[in-house]
Structure 1
Amino acid sequence: MCINEHGQPIGSALPDWTGACHPGHQGMVGRFACLVSLDPLAHVQELFQAFGRDTSGKIWAYNFIGPFNTVSSLREWAEGASGVQEQPYFPVADQETGKASGIARHWRIQPDHGVIEIGGITFAPSLQRTRIATEAIFLMMWRTMRDLGYRRLEWKCDALNAPSRAVAKRFGFRYEGTFEQAATYEDRNRDTAWYGSLDRDWFPVERGFQSWLAPENVDDDGQQRLKLADLIVLERSVRAQRETAT
């Protein structure tokens, strides 16, 4: 906090801030996951088959899009979404097979202020709770913070969406509050829970993800030995101890 010439408290100066870069539709590749620009011709059939395995319809309960009961309805949506340059969607694919089974997007993008959101996450049952899913979100987070220079990354969800709230916490986002009656969808009210991750707090989050994805954290059954949330907490504790020592 600073004080201006009128004696009023104001935000600290950012003399070196020149803004962040727009993510565009550039793809991202990791060890397990691959995110590419949405292409209706390449991805609609794969996504329709993957989404169709959710016979319960649970993946659409808190979603602003879908459900897509026909290939043509999904294609119509994809053709519209793929043409939106300002808020790009990315199919999430298995790096080994190349097949997409989920989507995620960047939106509410404000390069001048350094603020961006990850949202629109719709993962088929086969993708949920996998290393591919976790790494896909990490790739989006890493690119915004390390490559594009954003100061703030946001995660928002329906306040009643317990799985999404748990994922936000697992990924190192901090809960900031709930905006009541923030939106409507399907003739229902939505209270929106806000989560944020700041550039100054990014290093321990990044380290936690890297440790979780490391080969030595995988047991003989192909399962992660240590939990991601625990690794992030550990990295934050190590950083705090170092800062206290100096």
Structure 2
Amino acid sequence: MLVLTVEASMYAVSLGDDGAELRPLEPWQAEEFLTHIDRGRDFIGRHVGLPDRVTDLESSRAQLQAYADKAAADRGRIYGIWVDGRLVGGVLFVTMDVDQGTAEAGCWLEPSASGRGLVTRAVRTIIDWAVEERGIHRVEWRVSAANLPSIAVAKRLGMTKDGTLRESYLYRGERQDIEVWSVLAPEWRAFGQAP
């Protein structure tokens, strides 16, 4: 059950009883976002290009503004994960095509918050919203084949591995295999009702 509360940001969704919550990340939070990325830069950057794009206050603000623009156009969203008032990670819809009923979800997390199920809970929240509120039929999860924690999230969410795009992504000078996982709306609803 989602519980909405009014917090530092206008909207917050509790992710459990451990002080974790999900909130939209907005351009006015660029400094906090940059500080968070700096804390986890090496850890986050092992598989995700976000630290390469967010290097100073201007690029931090630009990254958040790009997602504010996507949200305004109904083409994507970005959310932060806060624990006890501290930004520790986030989830997002990299893309969202409501007309086609498709979206691609993603995540990042700083090392201090890993291993607590925060990403799984946060992604579950945004997929619920996308399927039930926006009518999204297919949610994809694209992940480096070397990113085992992110693959584990896909499995915990009941996603199916569609295949591997061999050496399809050039990341920091090396070709990466990208696994594509997905869940369809009927599967998601059935998975949510499973014990």
> What TM-score do the two structures reach when normalised by structure 1?
0.63
Query: Does the aligned pair in 1 maintain the 2:138–2:184 contact within 8 Å?
Result: yes
Partner in structure 2 of residue 108 of structure 1: 95
- In 1, Cα distance between equivalents of 2:31 and 2:158: 32
Any gaps of 5 or more consecutive residues in structure 2? Answer: 1-9, 71-75
**Aligned-residue CA RMSD in angstroms?**
2.6
- Give the superposition deviation at 1:184: 1.0
Is residue 26–residue 65 contact of structure 2 (8 Å, CA) maintained in 1?
no
- Segments of structure 1 that go 5 or more residues without pairing to the other structure are 1-25, 209-234, 236-246
Partner of 2:125: 139
Contact 1:152 1:199 in 2 (8 A): yes
Following superposition, the deviation at residue 130 of structure 1 comes to 1.7
Structure 1 distance, partners of 2:112, 2:102, is 31
Inter-partner Cα distance in structure 2 for 1:27 and 1:171? 24
Cα distance in 2, alignment partners of residues 128 and 167 from structure 1: 12
SS in 1 for 2:89: strand
Distance 2:189 2:27 in 1: 36
Aligned counterparts of 1:138 and 1:81: Cα–Cα separation in 2: 23
Which of 60, 75, 78 in structure 2 is aligned with 1:78? Answer: 60
> What is the match of residue 30 of structure 1?
14
Alignment of 1:29-178 (within 5 A): 29-32=13-16, 33-42=20-29, 44-45=31-32, 48-49=35-36, 52=39, 54=40, 57-66=42-51, 73-84=55-66, 85-86=69-70, 87-94=76-83, 97-119=84-106, 121-178=107-164
C-alpha separation in 1, matches of 2:126 and 2:11: 10
What is residue 7 of structure 2 aligned with on the other side? none
Structure 1 residues 139 and 51: CA distance shift in structure 2, 3 A: farther
CA contact (8 A) 1:90 1:105 kept: yes
Displacement of 1:122 after TM fit? 1.4
- In 1, the alpha carbon distance for the partners of 2:183 and 2:12 equals 20
Q: Is the 8 A contact 1:109 1:116 kept in 2?
A: yes
- Cα distance change of structure 1 residues 83 and 46 upon mapping to structure 2, 3 Å threshold: closer
- Equivalent position of 1:11 in the other structure: none
Q: Percent of counterpart pairs with the same letter?
A: 22
- Compute the displacement of 1:28 (Å): 5.3
Work out whether residues 48 and 74 of structure 1, in 8 Å CA contact, stay in contact via their aligned partners in 2.
no
**Following the alignment from structure 1 to structure 2, what is the Cα–Cα distance between the partners of residues 198 and 93?**
28
Judge which range, 106-115 or 30-39, deviates more: 30-39
Is 2:178 aligned against 1:192? yes
Q: Which runs of 4+ in 1 moved over 4 A?
A: none
Instruction: From the two aligned structures, give the one with the greater strand fraction.
Output: 2
